[in-house]
Structure 1
């Protein structure tokens, strides 16, 4: 109904996994208390041609009012001439809680048949990952938000992770290409800047874009967008909503009091909803009594007002009344939840934050849900509406000791640090780390902790761990920011380092950059040069992918100095490897020298996998420089080590590069054998992108034209399934 919060539940957005849903089992590790459930299901990705995304959340039940607004959207977004090249854009703006998202979802639901190409939904508040989106984020974060939004759209249209372009411009161009033959609707929720809208306008004839925003975004009118300010409900609409929610008989029994209640609520749906919930749950409470209480609270509105707008002050009054009805333990939990950094949480985090057991906290959560102060998503996670969270936070600042917020952030950080460390270890045990994970987990045997982790019971523990990290990414980022803000430097850099494992698998470049920057700065303040070196060298990766090569070089220079200062040989070797990746672009001969240095340091530090990685990249660099015999030796050594370490994915990649070197040497039969075997191994490892590359190169060295055609057909199948732009080139090659 229009009387719900400003937008639908966020849980199914912030926990979205390209067709997966995550919950989880139980873990106890130091600060983590109580049960935490992960429930991971992954469906096979359909081919892009068969995929019709349907991402817009279903409208809330018993939607009322907004007929004129919906009719206005009809006039704006439905073109009489479906073949027109113009894509209509509508922007619904208004106060938090006024019903923008509910209205947008209602319109999209009623017009599904008009968009056979599908409906995409992007929640920019979830992308920002914390808070209410301060005005400073409007300009500063727009580029990063749009880049990730485009990635989400491309994934929904069938583009796999390995084929996502790194840059904003390339992602924009690919989205335009992939939307050109579709008649589709794009819904953008809670945008804060015009730059977040323009790149996401679909290209297909008959398509449309609908955005919601607290900001008016008047600049978009210059681009032809239609602006629809969504006002609070008029008296008739407010009474209609109250009757729908609280019972029409009660409204009819006290018409004057009901009219006054609607007036005091300012026609804002969230305020009307909470008032109706009190009437529904407390049958002895008359509307006149509620009006009297609400009137008495007017003097207390300013201390939780998010602006000077009267309607938002009325929301504060309604929230204050609902809060004062709570039993003391539930009220205490309410204040605690207001201090949590993330936008969603589960019962385990609520228990840790409030220093309660899961058994103690669950009834209190149920009480808050019954009081309409807490929303529950389909995956079982909880969420406070933004205005409710602000009210709860202000209540904590008034009623609790001054250091309460910091204590809650400290507990939440410890909770996420332990779980992220377990996920990191589950994905790869022998990765270089500076953080002492035994100390973080509070155990003597890290291997035993991994065996008992929430991910250990999954059919594919590593994939389950990555899925959890992806689902929790917005909350992890919000927690990391809060930890840095409160000066928790040790926990900040530790969480930054273990969270890096997510970015090594999924390319969230803006997030990776922020995480590494926060961690590196915290490590510098904490006086741990090894941690600073590690995080600054890792920071060079997203900077390079974002085209910020000079900044990457500056970070690597600092990392080199700090690594030497730390005396950590394996770390120095790693920094040299990252330096080689930078020099590959700018000075190939110096890149070879950097990889040789990394290899020597890894051997000296007895780091087998580090030496194998350095040797692999050294071989690739030598091959690029034309030193084929030396490259062959380096790549063969790297493959042997990867096999000994059971790293079959990297071993297969090395074998494919061996085949490419042999092809350049003129050894076509040897190249064919290596590339054929590598393609098979990569297929077993589900490394489709690298398999397709190996198959294309294999086709070039095969003498049998039919076999070569089979290889290209299989490569085309992979590229098509992943939405790769290479598919068009392969189709042309096969046709020729």
Structure 2
């Protein structure tokens, strides 16, 4: 007996009516067709439809469950109803439908089962008065023919199980309630079908079909981008366009383009339809998860991992991970590869709105500042792993003193340099876009010291993996912040280093401008410190001036090798004066390369002499780099020596040196240089192509223009 129910029949009389009299009076029952019809306009979702159709294709399988997930407004209901319409022949037992949201947050399974049973023509007079009785009636009446049962806004896995038909081939098709986690159903073998944003082409089809905009016009494509492919948002905008009076489409686009007005713009009348859809889910989350949701919107960059989320919300990593899982289950976050998460564009706007409504400006500012410091510290640890004792302007000892090195701090391989390097590069690769955004966020807030410090520590990454556009962007912001904060040597350092990015991008004039500024700044700093010749500022200025002249030589190598040697001589002298022996070794390496280049086209005697000089410089540089454990620079010297031996006709020695260098560099930008030389020395065409393919992958990943030339070589070869 159902507790608190209206029990018209009791005892033996009830049993007689339910088991005997009813069945005698109704030997057959109606075929239910309760599912609402599909939307008039439905685009794409072919993959999801095919997945559902395939899942439901076996008419002999035991009853199954499929859960359609996705962010609010993505079209889950439209897909479910389209599927019901497409499969009327597939389910001869008909379809059943309930929307749990119609019955409040705690929808009573007793009531929902009653809705199902009315589809079979069962009136209240004959309706069982207990939940088990109604479950039994559903199983009995659905036993003979495969039936589709639809449950929208389900909040409880147990409810879904009770609403499952019993005939082989039957399917329960579910959409979760806002904030509900139905993951438990996977234990029963439930299939999860996740709906993402519409592809641009399909979003254009939907928008233009609804409001008549030209599909190839700028307004339509801009609206699609601003709506993030969310069908609900597109339908709202289409309805607004159809009802425009005193405004134009361009006015509407301008309103959507303003992030602060975007969600209010996605309203009809006084109904904030899109924002309300997100708020409904948000309001059903626990307080700690709501806090995490708001703080995640403050993270600069397109995606994030649990470690960054923990910093944003002042949580430990395990708690952050649980919160991210809950937000993903509620379809407020999208899961990305590598344990990362991202917002849908409009969901991020909503989360930022919540942060501005529910957090004080001081709380938001503190959270972002801690995120900047977290990225700065972690990138600094990574820079030390990758670049060792190279010259740096930023003094981050106080920042790093209280933090554990995430790349060397734990595990059985904590003393393994290769393992530390692998972990550092993995973090930098994963956070690459976010790091650029963090530099921009720091600059935007006027945190100039953190801006240039982060820009400087990232140069070690960019020297190894040539993400040229990122390098140019972060160093440009860093140099301007260094200037505004009076950090002259930092500006000089950033401008000299970024000249390499502009050189590789083919903008030699810009590279020269950066070097002119760097040399002028470092030279002035050295002059200012002349009264204190033994001071730290004097030594640092001398080292940075030497570095700027080294980079000048590297640029001149492309146009005037003889002038490049003069620049290297200046750098060599300055490094010796400062006692910067790694800088001396660097200059000797570059001098060796230039001397080798000058040997081309000379007489035999001159050429041999230049090659001997080049070999002497390179051997000396190699010995120094090996003595200080600088594997990266030692490998670059091996590449230069390999090229020198190849030109001298000793291919076997050259190949050995180049293969050693390529193996040691393993994905670092300079590996591509070794691979190109190995391709030219290979006797086997297949081996040559493999070297070229490897070089192409490295250059493409870095956005290096040389990738196009290699691709042509592979195509033409």
Normalised by the length of structure 1, the TM-score is: 0.54
The alignment partner of 1:585 has SS state of coil
CA 1:716 to 1:593, structure 2 compared with 1: closer, same or farther past 3 Å?
A: same
Per the alignment, residue 679 of structure 1 pairs with 658
Aligned to 2:442: 483
How many correspondences in the alignment? 470
**1:511 is matched with which residue: 449, 454, 470?**
470
The counterpart of 2:615, out of the listed 632, 637, 656, is: 632
- Structure 1 residues 546 and 695 mapped into 2: Cα distance closer, same or farther (>3 Å)? closer
> Do the aligned partners of 2:679 and 2:692 also contact (CA within 8 Å) in 1?
no
CA gap of 1:648–1:390, structure 2 versus 1, over 3 A, is closer
Q: Distance in 1 between matches of 2:656 and 2:634?
A: 11
Is 1:396–2:375 an aligned residue pair? no
Residues 638, 661 of structure 2: 8 Å contact kept: no
Aligned-pair CA distance for 1:462: 1.1
For the 8 Å contact 2:646–2:654, the answer to whether it is kept is no
2:676 matches 1:719: no
1-structure distance, mates of 2:423, 2:73: 35
Matching of residues 42-441 of structure 1 within 5 Å: 69-70=43-44, 221=216, 305-306=262-263, 308-310=265-267, 313-358=272-317, 361=320, 364-365=323-324, 368-369=327-328, 371-377=330-336, 379-441=338-400
Provide closer, same or farther for how the CA distance between residues 527 and 678 of structure 1 changes in structure 2, counting only shifts above 3 A.
same
Q: 1:451 aligns with which of 408, 419, 441?
A: 408
Q: 1 CA distance for matches of 2:448 and 2:225?
A: 43
2:658 and 2:674 in contact (8 A); partners too: yes
CA drift at 1:412: 0.6
Say if 2:629 is the partner of 1:646. yes
CA distance in 2 between partners of 1:452 and 1:528 (Å): 32
Q: How far apart are 1:363 and its partner, in Å?
A: 5.4
| Aligned position for 1:542 | 501
Q: Which runs of 5+ in 1 are unaligned?
A: 1-63, 74-94, 107-187, 193-208, 239-261, 270-301, 700-707
Distance (whole Å) between structure 2 residues aligned to residue 367 and residue 539 of structure 1: 42
- Counterpart in the other structure of 1:87: none
Q: How far apart are residue 551 of structure 1 and its match?
A: 1.6
Deviation at residue 303 of structure 1 after TM alignment: 7.3
Whether the aligned pair in 1 keeps the contact of 2:275 and 2:350 (CA below 8 Å) is: yes
CA distance in 2, matches of 1:499, 1:657: 26
> What is the Cα deviation at residue 190 of structure 1?
9.6
Paired residues of 1:304 and 1:394 also in contact (CA < 8 A): no
- Secondary structure (helix, strand or coil) at the match of 1:382 reads strand
Equivalent residue for 1:571? Answer: 544
Equivalent residue, structure 1, for 2:113: none
> Do residues 611 (structure 1) and 581 (structure 2) align?
no
- Give the match for residue 553 of structure 2: 580
Q: How far off its partner does 1:469 sit?
A: 0.7
Q: Is the 8 A contact 2:386 2:461 kept in 1?
A: no
- Cα gap change, 1:709/1:460 in structure 2, threshold over 3 Å: closer, same or farther? same
1:99 is displaced (CA, Å) by 6.5
Structure scoring higher RCO (CA < 8 A, sep ≥ 6) equals: 1
Could you tell me how far 1:324 is from its partner in structure 2? 3.6
Q: Structure 2: which 5+ runs fail to align?
A: 1-37, 48-70, 83-195, 238-258, 526-537, 600-609, 697-706
Pair 631,483 (structure 1): closer, same or farther in 2 beyond 3 Å: same
The CA deviation at 1:501 is 2.3
Following the alignment from structure 1 to structure 2, what is the Cα–Cα distance between the partners of residues 555 and 483?
23
**TM-score with structure 2 length normalisation?**
0.56
Distance 1:644 1:388 in 2: 54
Q: How big is each residue's C-alpha offset from its partner over 1:177-221, in whole Å with a ceiling of 9 and x where there is no partner?
A: xxxxxxxxxxx99999xxxxxxxxxxxxxxxx99989999x9995
Larger Rg: 2
Superposed CA deviations along residues 638-664 of structure 1, whole A, max 9, x for unmatched, are 222223233445435434534654676
Shift, 1:484, TM fit: 1.0
1:601 aligns with 2:584: no
